[in-house]
A and B are shown apart, each in its own frame.
Chain A
Amino acid sequence: MKKRKALTLTDVLVTVVVSLVFAVIYSVWGAFYTALKPLGIHLNELVYGMWFIAPVVVYLIIRKPGVALIAEFAAASAETIVLLQFDVMLIIYGLIQGLACELVFAIVRYKSTALMVAVSAGTAAALSTLPLDWYYGYLAHLETWNLILMAGFRILSGAVVAGWLAHILYRALLETGVLKLLGQYKEIEKEA
C-alpha cells in the first residue's frame, strides 16, 4: 500500500457514499429511537451509539486524517435530507461527534485498526455531546439517578454500538474482499 496521506477523490467518494448508507440506517433507527423515548428512563440512550457508527467504520476502512469528520458530517446532513427535516442540531452534533472520533484516531496516528481504538472512539463521541445536552436539555435539573442512567446508557452504547459493532462490520467487509479496491490487501492476508 502506497503511503498517501492526502485524501483522493476515491477516498472522499467512498467516505460520502458509505456515510449515506448509514444515513439511511440512521433514519430507520430514528423511529426506533423515538419509540423508546416516552417512558423517560432513557432507554433510547441505549441505541444512541448508532448515531456515530459512520465515522468509526469509515476510519477503519480508509484510515486517513479527516475522513471521520467528513463521514459524520455527511451522514448527519444526509439524514436531514432523507427525513426531509433540516435539523441544525443534528449537523452540529454530527460535527462535534466526528471531531471527537478524529481526535482519538489522531492519537493512534491513523494506523491501528484494533478493537480498542474503535471502542474508545465510540466512547469519545458519546462523551463529546454531553456538555451541549447539559445546556440544551437542562440536565443539571434532572434527578440524579436519572442523569446517571442517561450518561451511563449513552457511554455504554457508544462503546458497544459505535465501537464493537463498527468493528464487526469492518471485519465482515474485509472478508468480502471489497476493500481491495481501496488497496487493503495486507490486512486480508493477515486475516486469512
Chain B
Amino acid sequence: MFESIKRYSTFIDRTNPLTKIVAAICLFIAVVLIHDPNHLFHLSLWMLLLFLVMSGIELKYQALLIAVTVLTGLVSSAYMILYGEGDTTLFEFGLVHITEESIVRGLHITMRGLTLSFFGSLIIFTTRLTDVFYSMMQQAKVKPKYAYSFMASIRMLPVIVNEFITLRRARKVRRSLISRKHIGGLRGFTSTVVILLSQSIRRAHRLAVAMESKGFDDGARTYYRQTRFSGYDVCFIALIAVGLIASYYSGQWITPFGTSDAR
C-alpha cells in the first residue's frame, strides 16, 4: 500500500502482524501505568527514533506525520493544562487556572498520546493490511467468515467514499431546486447517511450471495499468503522491551521534568 513512499524496508516489515498487535496492547497498558513524566519522555523519544529509523518512509512524510501528531497531542490535553488542579499558580484568568502541576500532567498526557501514535505510525507503515487478516486466521484461528468479511469489505471503502463525493456533487447541482432543510442540519445528515447505508447493505448482501454460491464456508482451507512467527518477532519484542526498560533508567539521569510523579 505504501510502496510508493517507502525508501527501504526493515525487519519490522517481516514481523508477524499479530505480534505487533499484542505488543501494541502491552504498550498501551504500560503507558497507562507509567506515572513518571521523565520515564515517559524518554519512552516517547525512543518510539520517535524507532519510527524515524524503522518505518523507512520518505522524510517529508515523516515530518508531516510528526507535526500532526504533536499538534493533536497538545490539543488533546488542553483541558488538563487549562483546568487541572494544582497549587503553584502560574496564570489565572476567569475559569482558566494554569498551574505547574497541571502543565506537567497535561504534558504527561500528551506524551502518552505521542508514544502510542509514533508506535502506531511505525506499525501502519510496516504492515500489509491483508497480512493482518491472514495471520489472524492462521495464527489466532479466527474463523475465515470474519476475516474474509473484513478483507472483502475493506475493498469497498473507496466505493463508499466515491459515493459520498458523488452525492455531494449531485446536491450541489440541485441546490436551488431542493429545500434547504434537506441539505444542512439533521435532515441533511440523515439523508446522506441513509443513502450510503442502504447502498452498502445492498452491496454486502450481493457479495454474501456471491460468496455463498461459490461455496465459501468455514471449513479447512489453504492460504495464498503464509504468515508465521519467526526470529523477527523476538527482535521486535526485544526492541520494545529494551525501550521500556532503558527509558526508565535514562529517565533517572536526564530529567526534563522536576517531578517524578505526574499525579
The 7 closest A-B pairs by CB, nearest first: A86-B120, A10-B208, A40-B79, A17-B204, A40-B82, A178-B198, A88-B24
Count residues of chain A with CB under 8 A from any CB of chain B: 58
A12 in contact with B80 given A25-B193, A89-B28 (CB within 8 Å): no
Count residues of chain B with CB under 8 A from any CB of chain A: 70
Are B200 and A20 in contact (CB-based, < 8 A)?
Answer: yes
Task: Note all chain B residues with C-beta closer than 8 A to A80.
Answer: 120, 124
Among A143, A179, A181, contact of B97 (Cβ-Cβ < 8 Å): A143
Is residue A115 contacting chain B, with contact meaning CB distance below 8 A? no
Interface string of B134-151 (1 = CB under 8 A from A): 000000000001100110
Number of residue pairs A-B, CB distance < 8 angstroms: 182
Is residue B248 contacting chain A, with contact meaning CB distance below 8 A? no
A86 in contact with B124 given A13-B207, A138-B262, A142-B84 (CB within 8 Å): yes
Main SS class of interface, A = helix
Are A40 and B85 in contact (CB-based, < 8 A)?
Answer: no
Are A84 and B216 in contact (CB-based, < 8 A)?
Answer: no
Are B203 and A169 in contact (CB-based, < 8 A)?
Answer: no
Task: Note all chain A residues with C-beta closer than 8 A to B105.
Answer: 138, 141
Smallest distance from the beta carbon of A161 to chain B beta carbons, Å? Answer: 11
Measured CB to CB, the residues of B under 8 A from A are 24-25, 27-28, 32, 72, 75-86, 95-97, 101-102, 105, 108-109, 112, 116-117, 119-121, 123-124, 127, 129, 145-146, 149-150, 152-154, 156-157, 160-161, 164, 186, 190-191, 193-194, 196-198, 200-205, 207-209, 211-212, 216, 262-263
Instruction: Give residues 13-41 of A contacting B (CB, 8 Å).
Output: 13-18, 20-21, 23-25, 34, 37-41
Are A81 and B154 in contact (CB-based, < 8 A)?
Answer: yes
Among A24, A57, A169, contact of B161 (Cβ-Cβ < 8 Å): A24
Q: List 7 A-B contacts (CB under 8 A).
A: A9-B149, A18-B197, A39-B78, A57-B197, A86-B127, A89-B28, A181-B202
Task: Note all chain B residues with C-beta closer than 8 A to A165.
Answer: 186, 190
Among A10, A38, A40, contact of B204 (Cβ-Cβ < 8 Å): A10
